[in-house]
Chain A
Amino acid sequence: MKVALAQVSPRLGDVKANVELHLDVLEKARRTKADLVVFPELGLTGYTLKDLVEEVALDPHSDPLFRKITARTRGLAAVVGFVEERPSEKGLFYNSAAFIADRRLLHVHRKIYLPTNGMFEEAKFFAPGRDLRTFETPFGRVGLLICRDFLHYGASYVLYSSGADMIICISAAPGRGVGGGDAFETSRMWELMGETMSYFSTAFVLYANRVGIEDGVTFAGGSFIFAPGGRLVGRAAYLDPELLVRRIDLAAVREARKKWLFKRDEKPEVILRSLERAARAAED
């Protein structure tokens, strides 16, 4: 199959313009025969929303703009980042990722870990997600994560234990540290986790980060694809927009698991029991 990482620069607060951007990129990706197009975190809204959160929030099932995107996925799949507000939970806003395949909304993941320290203030404006699960797609079992979720390795472990063949992380990661090579120093952090998770979960890891600048903060780009076993399939440019298209072979999951028996020998029930004890102790 072919995957495309859409390393775009959304316009802050302008859902309509960003829907157009997504539709354009979807068509471009379609012309490359991509089967799956992954857009970055909050791609429909921009990142530094603050009080704009409630104004750009939408319900993916009924919002006419969102449905334009859904309608444009005939024969392909897309992961889209947006601000979610469901009619059943009015006034609760989530930083969410939707997996759409062939005009059907298969799954929505709500960001669990909302960075709120220093330059980050997500928990001031968003409600936290409370669930992690994998779901069936035309390309095997997939799990979604959003940005900081990926840096808490327990989240990837849950997806791996839940049978993920592919972990997809969408991101709006600002770059920091200019003492290194031709990238922000923080880009290394994401690549390290991507390589490690793909190595030890023997699954594909797709990381779609955004580019562009909001209020002085530069988003680092450098989206990447790792195949099982820590093999880098492709990385997009740092700083600049790119549509990174790569062919991946899903059989690599089975191949890697024949060679490295982490998955066979995994003991989630031991982990769970121990974790429950640790969590209880932390609560005491």
Chain B
Amino acid sequence: MPPKINAPFVEKVLVRFIREELGKCGCKKGILGLSGGLDSAVCTVLATRALGPRNVLGLIMPYGKAFPEDVRDAENLARRLGIRHETIDIAPQVDAYFTAHPTGSRVQRGNKMARERMSILYDFSAREGGFILGTSNKTELLIGYGTIHGDMACAINPMGDLYKTQVRELAAHLRVPAAIRRKSPTAGLWPGQTDEAEIGLAYEELDDILCGLVEERKRRKEIIEAGHRPAAVDRVVRMIRNSEFKRKLPPIAKLSLRSVGHDFLYPYSGRGPGVTPGSASAVLVRKHKTRASGEPKARPLTTGENKP
């Protein structure tokens, strides 16, 4: 299993991470989608502790009347934390599209919904001058269980180095309401969907295999010897391999001596080229202003489809 975390220490680090990554871009506000599930609840608590409730905006974006309990849980959490929140029904915009371009694919519809939510989040990000906080955990990122350009899109991600089972530990420490902690994890792509049924593995087993492959750098053979079903291990290996494109910028065809994505290399929170010692401050102030009033920095968006 992934190592047990020292939850109070993790909270300290992540609260500082949210505060500093936003602060250095001159931004005080965090915006995130509230699904009523565990990951977004944990992220909301962290954001509230980092930025204060007035600086956190939770958008609850159900598709029509689907998932009423999740909407209720999300609204209760927002009220309990005292954050600003708003509920926006995405059905009209989703239906408008699928009326013109029908599909029988649940996955395709679910992905479209995830991207509609993303487009709303980014619009609010521009309206509010806030940063979008991502809620993808390490388990999801590793197996690619997320919609590219959808729920994976964010400005910063505080949770991406915590396995799902570790998020649960953190949730208990942060006193996330039991109603949220006890429900089955679901991407909410369609009613009755659960992550574990769709992935075909319980999170405990999945995290144990991932931890062996990633943290302990074990081979397939060693993980099977440790007691895992070969089919399960192979499935996890395949999911990791097939989702690398979701964790990277798209490859750029290299032509010049210095190309974006290859050898034009700058830190996220740093500055572009042209900063000289002594003149840096002026440049920074200007850049911060642009960012605060305009689009926040977006994380790399790559082309590609689908979940899972």
Q: Do A16 and B267 contact each other (CB < 8 Å), given the known contacts A51-B273, A182-B9, A213-B21?
A: no
Residues of the B chain whose Cβ atoms lie less than 8 Å from the Cβ of A65 = 277-278
Q: Do A216 and B17 contact each other (CB < 8 Å), given the known contacts A178-B10, A179-B5?
A: yes
Q: Do A179 and B266 contact each other (CB < 8 Å), given the known contacts A14-B284, A65-B277, A213-B20?
A: no
- Contact pattern, B 266-299, Cβ under 8 Å of A = 1, otherwise 0: 1111110111111111001000000000000000
Q: Which of A16, A50, A177 contacts B280 (CB 8 A)?
A: A16
Q: Which residue of B lies closest to A121 (CB)?
A: B265
Q: Do A51 and B8 contact each other (CB < 8 Å), given the known contacts A13-B280, A16-B280, A239-B13?
A: no
- Interface of chain B: mostly helix, strand, loop or mixed: loop
Interface check A215, CB cutoff 8 A: yes
C-alpha gap A63/B276 in the complex (Å): 12
The stretch that binds B, out of A52-60, A91-99, A150-158, A258-266, is: A52-60
Contact A48 B267 (CB under 8 A): yes
C-alpha gap A175/B16 in the complex (Å): 13
C-alpha gap A11/B280 in the complex (Å): 10
Interface check A212, CB cutoff 8 A: yes
Q: Which residue of A lies closest to B268 (CB)?
A: A215
Contact A180 B6 (CB under 8 A): yes
Contact A51 B277 (CB under 8 A): no
Q: Which of B5, B8, B12, B266 contacts A52 (CB 8 A)?
A: B266
Most B CB within 10 A of own CB, among A182, A215, A239: A215
Interface check A12, CB cutoff 8 A: yes
Residues of the A chain whose Cβ atoms lie less than 8 Å from the Cβ of B10 = 178
Q: Which residue of B lies closest to A14 (CB)?
A: B280
- For residues 173 through 188 of chain A, which have their beta carbon under 8 Å from a beta carbon of chain B? 175, 177-183
Residues of the B chain whose Cβ atoms lie less than 8 Å from the Cβ of A178 = 3, 5-6, 9-10, 13
Residues of the A chain whose Cβ atoms lie less than 8 Å from the Cβ of B265 = 50-51
C-alpha gap A49/B280 in the complex (Å): 13
Distance (whole angstroms) from the CB of B210 to the closest CB of chain A: 16
Residues of the B chain whose Cβ atoms lie less than 8 Å from the Cβ of A214 = 267, 269-270
Q: Which of A17, A49, A175, A177 contacts B267 (CB 8 A)?
A: A49
Interface check A46, CB cutoff 8 A: yes
Residues of the A chain whose Cβ atoms lie less than 8 Å from the Cβ of B275 = 13-14, 52, 55-56
Number of interface residues of A (CB under 8 A): 34
Interface check A218, CB cutoff 8 A: yes
Contact A16 B17 (CB under 8 A): no
Contact A12 B270 (CB under 8 A): yes
Residues of the B chain whose Cβ atoms lie less than 8 Å from the Cβ of A48 = 267, 269-270
- For residues 44 through 90 of chain B, which have their beta carbon under 8 Å from a beta carbon of chain A? none
C-alpha gap A82/B120 in the complex (Å): 44
Q: Which residue of B lies closest to A182 (CB)?
A: B9
C-alpha gap A178/B3 in the complex (Å): 8
Q: Which residue of A lies closest to B284 (CB)?
A: A14
- Contact pattern, B 1-39, Cβ under 8 Å of A = 1, otherwise 0: 001111011101100110011001000000000000000
Interface check A15, CB cutoff 8 A: yes
Distance (whole angstroms) from the CB of B6 to the closest CB of chain A: 6
Distance (whole angstroms) from the CB of B271 to the closest CB of chain A: 5
Contact A182 B6 (CB under 8 A): yes
C-alpha gap A177/B274 in the complex (Å): 36
Distance (whole angstroms) from the CB of B248 to the closest CB of chain A: 16
Q: Do A16 and B3 contact each other (CB < 8 Å), given the known contacts A48-B270, A55-B273, A214-B267?
A: no
Most B CB within 10 A of own CB, among A16, A178, A213: A178
C-alpha gap A215/B265 in the complex (Å): 13
Q: Which of B3, B21, B277 contacts A15 (CB 8 A)?
A: B277
- Contact pattern, A 187-219, Cβ under 8 Å of B = 1, otherwise 0: 000000000000000000000000011111010
Contact A213 B17 (CB under 8 A): yes
Q: Do A17 and B16 contact each other (CB < 8 Å), given the known contacts A50-B266, A51-B266, A182-B6?
A: no
Residues of the B chain whose Cβ atoms lie less than 8 Å from the Cβ of A181 = 6, 9
Q: Which residue of B lies closest to A64 (CB)?
A: B278
Contact B16 A239 (CB under 8 A): yes
Distance (whole angstroms) from the CB of B151 to the closest CB of chain A: 19
Contact B270 A16 (CB under 8 A): no
17 further A-B pairs in the complex, CB-CB below 8 A; given A64-B278, A182-B9: A11-B24, A12-B24, A13-B271, A13-B275, A14-B271, A15-B278, A51-B265, A52-B267, A55-B276, A179-B3, A179-B6, A181-B9, A182-B6, A212-B20, A213-B16, A214-B270, A216-B17
* 5 residue pairs bridging A and B, Cβ less than 8 Å apart: A13-B267, A15-B280, A52-B267, A213-B16, A216-B156
B residues within 8 Å of A by Cβ? 3-6, 8-10, 12-13, 16-17, 20-21, 24, 156, 264-271, 273-281, 284
Can you list the 9 inter-chain pairs with the closest CB atoms, starting with the nearest? A179-B3, A15-B277, A50-B265, A14-B280, A48-B267, A213-B20, A12-B270, A13-B271, A215-B268
